[in-house]
């Protein structure tokens, strides 16, 4: 998988959209609940990597993208990972539920 300095990006093994990637810090970090103000540049970089990977895979409508984190206890692994899904307009019923914007289990 492509690596961007301290971040790795790979396809989700159970994709919820035609494009579904995970952007993960190489260094272990807890889940999104442990994020603090000093992590803002990291999260912004994670989103930039997500956008870059979409563009590399010929997806260019960055207004039709959903990015976010599952909120504990709704995350299956306790290592920070950003979900990047596109096109958001093509999410199936369960994915629309599972990756619902600012629900109590998924935060953008």
- Residue 72's pLDDT band (boundaries 50, 70, 90)? confident
Domain extent for 45:
7-107
**What is the total count of domains within the chain?**
1
User: Does residue 79 fall inside a structural domain?
Assistant: yes
Has 39 been annotated as catalytic? no
If we measure between CA atoms, which residue out of 59, 61, 62 comes closest to residue 19?
A: 59
The CATH number linked to 83 is 3.30.428.10
User: Does residue 80 fall inside a structural domain?
Assistant: yes
Task: Judge whether 79 and 28 are in contact, CB under 8 Å.
Answer: yes
User: Does residue 30 fall inside a structural domain?
Assistant: yes
Rounded to whole angstroms, what are the CA distances from 90 to 8, 45, 82, 95, 105?
25, 25, 19, 9, 20
If we measure between CA atoms, which residue out of 9, 103, 90 comes closest to residue 48?
A: 9
- What is the residue whose two structure tokens read 């629900």? 103
**Among 19, 20, 70, 81, the one annotated catalytic:** 81
- Residue 11's pLDDT band (boundaries 50, 70, 90)? very high
Structure tokens given for 52: 């870059």
User: Does residue 25 fall inside a structural domain?
Assistant: yes
- Residue 104's pLDDT band (boundaries 50, 70, 90)? confident
User: What pLDDT score was predicted for residue 10?
Assistant: 95
User: Does residue 1 fall inside a structural domain?
Assistant: no
Is the model's pTM score more than 0.85? yes
User: Does residue 2 fall inside a structural domain?
Assistant: no
- Average pLDDT (17-28) is 95
User: What pLDDT score was predicted for residue 3?
Assistant: 59
The two beta strands, 106-107 and 82-86, are unpaired
User: Does residue 58 fall inside a structural domain?
Assistant: yes
Residue 1 has pLDDT above 60, yes or no: no
């Amino acid at each position: 998988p492509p690596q961007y300095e301290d971040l790795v990006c790979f396809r989700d093994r159970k994709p919820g959209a035609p494009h579904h990637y995970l952007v993960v810090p190489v260094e272990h970090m807890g889940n999104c609940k442990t994020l603090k103000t000093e992590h803002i540049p990291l999260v912004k970089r994670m989103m930039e990597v997500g956008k870059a990977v979409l563009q590399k895979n010929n997806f260019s409508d960055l207004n039709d993208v959903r990015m976010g984190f599952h909120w504990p206890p709704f995350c299956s692994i306790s290592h920070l990972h950003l979900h990047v899904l596109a096109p958001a307009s093509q999410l199936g019923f369960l994915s629309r539920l599972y990756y619902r914007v600012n629900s109590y289990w998924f935060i953008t």
